[in-house]
């Protein structure tokens, strides 16, 4: 149905870099405004995460945002609504460099996320990139498998219990800490979760599991005030703010100045 070669005779592959790379600051987008997303992508953030779980991003908005963000310097990833083959495939088809998969409660959930993220033989992703519709780059299956980032969220008690096994899965290349939901799931406050820097604490277990299997950990801060606590825990790939927080902070700064 589609060509397996890049769209356009002179289309070059983008630089090889992790979607959510080391020492990086990401911006979490809840809204679906294409112009705002494109403008924010040029402000210096290393990556953008489009939130299709709790944000206003449906499949139509996903295509529009994929088209708008296809040629910006910052990578974009999608936090999909759940362990959903259709959503994971559609996000990658729209040009996302990776997916962040929430609602992981077991090793089996993480395995399902891997199957949806990768083309055979590693996974079961169906071929059908959307990027050629706007003359964007479409990697072949081998290149896509080599460079896509499958980030599974560790935000439930079940995922934490199985974190060592999840980190060992072929195809999981990033553990993504969701501190708000993890604290709720564990029945502890968010401040207590982030203040526990011990190796045996929840975040310590996640970091140890990642290290033992040669993968990395990223996290959602939401509020920039939480970034120092996450960095103190040893996490340097952080969604430092949401678009909502950014607007509020910018508005407050303007009011303070005037």
Preceding omega of 54 cis (within 30 degrees of 0): no
Contact 84, 49 (CB under 8 A): no
Residue 142 CA to residue 121 CA, distance in Å, equals: 10
Residue 125 CA to residue 141 CA, distance in Å, equals: 10
**Sign of the CA dihedral running 158, 227, 253, 20:** negative
Residues linked to residue 24 through DSSP beta bridges, in sequence order: 237
Q: Quick check: is 147 catalytic?
A: no
Residue 21 CA to residue 218 CA, distance in Å, equals: 9
Spot the catalytic one: 54, 85, 147, 213.
Answer: 54
Residue 258 CA to residue 249 CA, distance in Å, equals: 14
Can you read off the two tokens belonging to residue 251? Answer: 């508005």
Which position has the token pair 């630089």? 15
Which residues are part of the catalytic machinery? 54
């Amino acid at each position: 149905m589609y060509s397996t070669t890049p769209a356009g005779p002179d289309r070059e592959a983008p630089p090889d870099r992790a979607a959510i790379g080391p020492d990086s600051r990401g911006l979490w987008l809840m809204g679906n405004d294409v112009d705002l997303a494109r403008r924010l992508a040029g402000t210096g953030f290393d990556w953008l995460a489009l939130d299709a779980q709790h944000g206003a991003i449906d499949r139509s908005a996903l295509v529009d945002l994929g088209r708008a963000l296809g040629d910006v310097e910052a990578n974009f990833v999608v936090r999909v609504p759940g362990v959903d083959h259709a959503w994971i495939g559609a996000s990658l088809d729209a040009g996302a460099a990776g997916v962040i998969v929430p609602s992981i409660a077991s090793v089996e959930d993480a395995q399902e996320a891997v199957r949806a993220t990768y083309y055979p033989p590693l996974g079961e992703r169906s071929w059908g990139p959307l990027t050629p519709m706007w003359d964007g780059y479409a990697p072949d299956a081998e290149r896509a498998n080599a460079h896509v980032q499958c980030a599974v969220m560790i935000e439930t008690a079940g995922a934490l219990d199985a974190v060592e096994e999840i980190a060992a899965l072929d195809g999981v290349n990033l553990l993504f800490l969701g501190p708000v939901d993890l604290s709720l799931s564990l029945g502890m406050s968010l401040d207590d979760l982030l203040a526990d820097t011990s190796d045996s604490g929840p975040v310590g277990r996640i970091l140890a599991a990642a290290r033992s299997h040669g993968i990395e950990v990223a996290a959602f801060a939401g509020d920039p005030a939480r970034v120092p606590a996450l960095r103190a825990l040893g996490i340097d790939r952080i969604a430092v703010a949401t678009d909502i927080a950014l607007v509020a902070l910018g508005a407050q700064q303007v009011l303070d100045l005037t």
